[in-house]
A and B are shown apart, each in its own frame.
Chain A
Amino acid sequence: AQKVTQAQTEISVVEKEDVTLDCVYETRDTTYYLFWYKQPPSGELVFLIRRNSFDEQNEISGRYSWNFQKSTSSFNFTITASQVVDSAVYFCALSDVNFGNEKLTFGTGTRLTIIP
């Protein structure tokens, strides 16, 4: 069975600080996909990134970066120079490769609060 663990329930940092959100996953599959979604206070889910299990290169997109390490089954998310608009709940999710069925297994989320 698949499982995603986000051990940090809530994090608060002062604006402009860097913050890392942890994600640890479990799967028996050798091929899988990992995702991060953002849920701002308005409630919608915003897609941030998708990474497949064969691509361990770290990715950077503006102030966001992701560190994928298969050896530790982790897919951590770092926000550099945080801003108040980054305040949201962030979900890590996992999907196995079952073509035609891409259902996601979500972690319980990390609530990030950026203090001005």
Chain B
Amino acid sequence: NAGVMQNPRHLVRRRGQEARLRCSPMKGHSHVYWYRQLPEEGLKFMVYLQKENIIDESGMPKERFSAEFPKEGPSILRIQQVVRGDSAAYFCASSPGLAGSQETQYFGPGTRLLVL
């Protein structure tokens, strides 16, 4: 079974450009979570999505950041007009999303974003 896939693994952008990060959950998983890890820090929750729905975006910056998880295809985390402070590792995690069950999240390898 393939694990959680993220691409690209490394992304370099200049200030003002857009960054698009992709996440394909594990097979059979319908819940996706995005986390951000700033240098030398722990991971911070950003957003939780199910297919076609944003369930919890309490950790997302109010501007420039958006996320989606369409019916078909991967989940996308989009950062518009990137700034140097957006440089971080962005991790995606997925879980089965079984009703009434608390499940373990499995993480992808992360995307390292560097803003020049």
Contacts and interface: CB of A to CB of B under 8 A. Distances in A.
Interface in A81-108: 91, 93, 95, 97, 99-108
Contacts of A35: 104
B100 A102 contact: no
A47 B42 contact: no
B75 to A, nearest CB: 15
A40 to B, nearest CB: 11
Contact of B45 (A97, A100, A104, A109): A104
B42 A106 contact: yes
B33 interface: yes
Nearest to B107: A45
B90 to A, nearest CB: 12
Main secondary structure of the interface of A (DSSP, over half): loop
Contact of A44 (B102, B104, B110): B110
Interface in A12-48: 33, 35, 37, 43-45, 47
Nearest to A99: B100
Contacts of A109: 41-42
Interface in A42-66: 43-45, 47, 50, 52
B43 A33 contact: no
Given A104-B45, A106-B42, A45 B55 contact: no
Interface of A: 33, 35, 37, 43-45, 47, 50, 52, 91, 93, 95, 97, 99-109
